[in-house]
Amino acid sequence: MSRVFNFSAGPAALPTEVLEQLRDEMLDWRGQGMSVMEMSHRGKAFVGIAEQAEADLRELLAVPSDYRVLFLQGGATGQFAAIPLNMTRPDSVADYVNTGAWSKKAIAEAKRYCRVHVAADAGGRYTAVPEFGSWSLTPGAAYLHYTPNETIGGVEFPFVPETGDVPLVADMSSTILSRPVDVSRFGVIYAGAQKNIGPAGLVVVIVREDLLGRARSDVPTVFDWQAMAADGSMLNTPATYSWYVAGAVFQWVKRQGGLAAMERLNRAKAEALYAAIDDSGYYRNPVEPGCRSWMNVPFTLPDPELDKPFLEGAKAAGLVALAGHRSVGGMRASLYNAMPMAGVQALVDYMRDFQSRHG
């Protein structure tokens, strides 16, 4: 069976080269006589895997020395709670920017632990990012949280907010490793693994050291960043296999030329697909052009009745996971790092063919 082009928003496609490596190492990792998933997380072999993964991620993102890198469990959703539990008291005010579905989830969770002030809300159908000058920021807020890329709506920030002394917290689940980023502008970056990092079951948290040690006394230990940092993310048994796969992906990204190369490829993929949509007079993307995501491209057909035949034809052509999120419908193509340009071109060709037959 040949592999399909998988446009899933997550769990997403992994690079074929990485999958082949995992296959070859499945039963015997480098002479150990066992799979990585069978290893003790305290053993020399896995500790080496973990340390190399962190070193490679630090190199790729140019993480400053005064930041800690944590490999945790609970996904990005777990961090929706961990962030206020580590950075606020019940009477603290935390600023949030609402640009869509994942921002809303983060806001709802934070409200359980602190006072949330929505500093900006894109409102309506969430097809743009609010102008920064219109934001209502709280002086002395515990932090400002935003979602640089909304996976469901396909809305992406074209800028990094300036927050002064207020720590900036970003959910980069959908954009991490897709291009260079200046980590020093952020207090906390967190990202679920299942898009550009590896399989589900892992979340990466990059936190500035001066923000550690602020957790509430009743925070669960596995969500206490300082406790996890003190034990190398191994206070409990970590998601060892996901961590190992993440390390293999980091090395793959390095072999591709690093994040500068990823940026060039991802920009080209997105531009090709958006051009096909905009030039068609048939398909439509609802997001304002200046706020369009490189990673998640939603689009609709002229008639929702055409959605089913479009998806059936796409599957027959080896193009899968194109259905839009159940909350918005239509189509969505996710173009994470592992999606090659050939996959985007195959989708564009199929879209043109479908239009010629149904337009």
Q: In Å, what is the CA distance from 286 to each residue of 110, 147, 294, 297, 301?
A: 29, 19, 14, 10, 11
pLDDT value at 326 more than 90:
no
pLDDT value at 124 more than 90:
no
Q: Is-catalytic flag, 135?
A: no
DSSP sequence for 226-291: HHHHHTTT-SS---HHHHHHHHHHHHHHHHHTHHHHHHHHHHHHHHHHHHHHHHHSS-B--S-GGG
Q: Is-catalytic flag, 195?
A: yes
Q: CA–CA separation, 151 vs 73, rounded Å?
A: 20
Q: CA–CA separation, 267 vs 178, rounded Å?
A: 9
> Residue 343 carries which DSSP code?
H
Strands 115-121 and 188-192: unpaired
* Strand ranges in 77-187 using DSSP code E only, listed in sequence order: 93-98, 115-121, 144-146, 149-150, 155-156, 168-171
Q: State which H helix or E strand residue 311 sits in.
A: helix 307-316
Q: CA–CA separation, 198 vs 109, rounded Å?
A: 25
Q: Which of 56, 95, 195, 225 is catalytic?
A: 195
Q: CA–CA separation, 244 vs 250, rounded Å?
A: 10
Q: CA–CA separation, 141 vs 166, rounded Å?
A: 6
pLDDT value at 125 more than 90:
no
Type of residue at 33: G
Closest CA to 293 of 173, 153, 196: 153
Contact 291, 158 (CB under 8 A): yes
Q: What is the pLDDT of residues 106-122, one digit of tens each?
A: 999 999 999 999 999 99
Count the alpha carbons within 13 Å of 258 in the hemisphere toward its beta carbon.
10
pLDDT for 327: 74
Tokens for 253?
């990204």
* Strand ranges in 109-178 using DSSP code E only, listed in sequence order: 115-121, 144-146, 149-150, 155-156, 168-171
pLDDT for 48: 97
β-pair partners for 145: 96, 169
Q: Is 129 left (phi over 0), alpha (psi -120 to 50) or beta?
A: beta
Q: What is the pLDDT of residues 248-267, one digit of tens each?
A: 999 999 999 999 999 999 99
Q: Is-catalytic flag, 254?
A: no
pLDDT for 228: 97
Per-residue confidence band for 123, with pLDDT thresholds at 50, 70 and 90: confident
Count the alpha carbons within 13 Å of 56 in the hemisphere toward its beta carbon.
23
Non-local CB neighbours of 262 within 8 Å, separated by 6+ positions: 177, 178, 179, 253, 256, 337
pLDDT for 116: 98
Residue 165 neighbours by CB distance under 10 Å: 7
pLDDT value at 230 more than 80:
yes
Q: What is the pLDDT of residues 42-99, one digit of tens each?
A: 999 999 999 999 999 999 999 999 999 999 999 999 999 999 999 999 999 999 999 9
Q: Which of 102, 225, 243, 294 is catalytic?
A: 102
User: By percentage, how much of the chain surpasses pLDDT 70?
Assistant: 100
Q: CA–CA separation, 35 vs 22, rounded Å?
A: 10
User: For the chain, what is the mean pLDDT?
Assistant: 96
Q: How many helices (H) and strands (E) does the chain have?
A: 9, 13
pLDDT for 1: 59
pLDDT for 224: 98
Q: Which residue has the higher pLDDT, 125 or 117?
A: 117
Q: CA–CA separation, 292 vs 153, rounded Å?
A: 9
pLDDT value at 346 more than 90:
yes
Q: Which residue has the higher pLDDT, 312 or 201?
A: 312
Q: Which of 95, 121, 171, 224 is catalytic?
A: 171
User: By percentage, how much of the chain surpasses pLDDT 90?
Assistant: 97
pLDDT for 329: 80
Q: What is the pLDDT of residues 165-198, one digit of tens each?
A: 999 999 999 999 999 999 999 999 999 999 999 9
